[in-house]
Amino acid sequence: MGAAYYRAESESGDHIDDPSEDALFMLIDDLNDSDNTFVVIQPDQDDPVWFTSVAVLEEGGYEVVRRDNTRREHDVVSETSIDRIARDLTIWMAARSFPGRPTRHTSNF
């Protein structure tokens, strides 16, 4: 069975379906500058409309890319804190659209 929402996969082949913030932290923490240089997170579907990636920078730290074609978002930042990356990505991904996920309704009461 695949991921309900999204899948994280590193260059080394490690993958986690619907990773938690802690799981993202572990995947990013396992990155290195030789044979496991990036992790990609995207919906577990054909032709995903959004993705995010984290890659090791030669000068230290990480490059974080967030792209959502439906919202015309494309953001690239450098970051050194794995904690902050995992937290920010978890929040960003929670705001994405997923087929089959109930939409939030607000009440005017």
pTM of the predicted structure, to 2 decimals:
0.85
Distance from C-alpha of 53 to C-alpha of 63, rounded to nearest angstrom: 8
Predicted pLDDT at 44: 84
Residue 100 domain-assigned (yes or no): no
Helices 82-94 and 21-29, packing angle to 10 deg: 140
Predicted pLDDT at 59: 92
Tens of pLDDT, residues 87-102 = 999 999 988 865 555 5
Predicted pLDDT at 85: 98
Domain count, the chain: 1
Residue 105 domain-assigned (yes or no): no
Q: Looking at the DSSP assignment, which residues form a beta bridge with residue 22?
A: none
* Alpha-helix runs per DSSP H in 37-96: 82-94
Residue 30 domain-assigned (yes or no): yes
Residue 57 domain-assigned (yes or no): yes
Residue 45 pLDDT level (bands cut at 50, 70, 90): confident
Tens of pLDDT, residues 19-37 = 999 999 999 999 999 999 9
Domain with 11 in it = 6-94
